[in-house]
């Protein structure tokens, strides 16, 4: 029994799902309550793995040393999560900061269902989990005094980056393993993201410059699933996407 597989997320991409909304939220709407909310987000990321393992064992009606250890970590991370949320609400002076998290709760619960049924590596739970964690940026913004609608718009901009990226990375990894991949879904989801951001810019006071990083991501995806791509390892792909994500977040913080 490896402690790391119980106490820490197996998928390294989970850290990116936390880093991007946390960084964006703090860059555009810094507050002490927002910083504490990042701690709550970290606890939520850590909570997912042992809770999924424990619930999976409950579903299979199996109790093992791993199950008991998983529940201990659930108690530890859950306590940290609840404590951080309570401190953040106290600092912000209003429970309204939790509204985006409540909107995201069904997404997180759906992901947990997939995880507990041994389907964590499918596309749907990855998208659900990333979208749910993206609500952290909106919570941080509300804690700094943003209106809820504007904060949800910030979350939507992150979603336009996250969902296409997950679809692209999954397709790219299959290609690197020598499998056949239809690039159409990759192109389509990036095009939809571009259209969404363009509509948002047209209907609000968003600067049109906000389209640039999404166009760049669409270009890298088109090249990445083409025959002209240069084969690289999964680790390189992961680090590249982390870099793309940080660059997009910093760009958004500058133009918003």
Rounded average pLDDT over 184-203: 94
Is pLDDT of 250 > 70?
Answer: yes
Domain that holds residue 92: 3-255
Q: What is the pLDDT of residues 202-215, one digit of tens each?
A: 988 889 999 999 99
Token couple for 134: 């993206």
Instruction: Please tell me the total count of domains within the chain.
Output: 1
Q: What is the pLDDT of residue 162?
A: 94
Mean pLDDT for the chain?
Answer: 92
pTM: 0.93
Q: How far is residue 121's CA from residue 225's CA, in Å, rounded to a whole number?
A: 20
Output 6 or 96, whichever has higher pLDDT. 96
Percent with pLDDT over 90 in the chain = 78
C-alpha dihedral (88, 92, 94, 98), degrees to nearest 10: -50
Cα torsion 256, 137, 121, 49 to 10°: value is 160
Predicted confidence at residue 1, as pLDDT, reads 62
């Amino acid at each position: 029994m490896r402690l790391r597989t119980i106490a820490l997320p197996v998928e390294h991409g989970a850290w990116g799902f936390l880093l991007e909304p946390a960084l964006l939220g703090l860059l555009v709407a810094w507050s002490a309550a927002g910083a504490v909310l990042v701690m709550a987000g970290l606890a939520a990321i850590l909570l997912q793995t042992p809770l999924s393992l424990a619930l999976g064992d409950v579903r299979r009606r199996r109790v093992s040393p791993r199950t008991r250890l998983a529940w201990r970590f659930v108690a530890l991370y859950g306590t940290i999560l609840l404590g951080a949320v309570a401190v953040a609400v106290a600092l912000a002076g209003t429970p309204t900061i939790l509204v985006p998290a409540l909107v995201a709760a069904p997404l997180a619960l759906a992901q947990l269902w997939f995880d507990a049924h041994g389907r964590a590596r499918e596309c749907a739970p990855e998208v659900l989990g990333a979208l749910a964690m993206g609500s952290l940026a909106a919570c941080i913004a509300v804690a700094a005094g943003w209106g809820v609608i504007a904060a949800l718009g910030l979350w939507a901009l992150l979603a336009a980056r996250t969902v296409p990226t997950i679809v692209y990375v999954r397709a790219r990894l299959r290609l690197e393993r020598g499998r056949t991949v239809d690039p159409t879904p990759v192109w389509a989801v990036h095009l939809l993201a571009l259209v969404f951001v363009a509509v948002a810019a047209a209907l609000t006071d968003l600067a049109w410059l906000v389209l640039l990083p999404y166009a760049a991501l669409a270009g890298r995806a088109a090249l990445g699933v083409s025959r002209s791509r240069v084969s690289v390892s999964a680790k390189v792909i992961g680090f590249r996407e982390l870099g793309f994500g940080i660059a997009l977040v910093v760009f958004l913080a500058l133009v918003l």
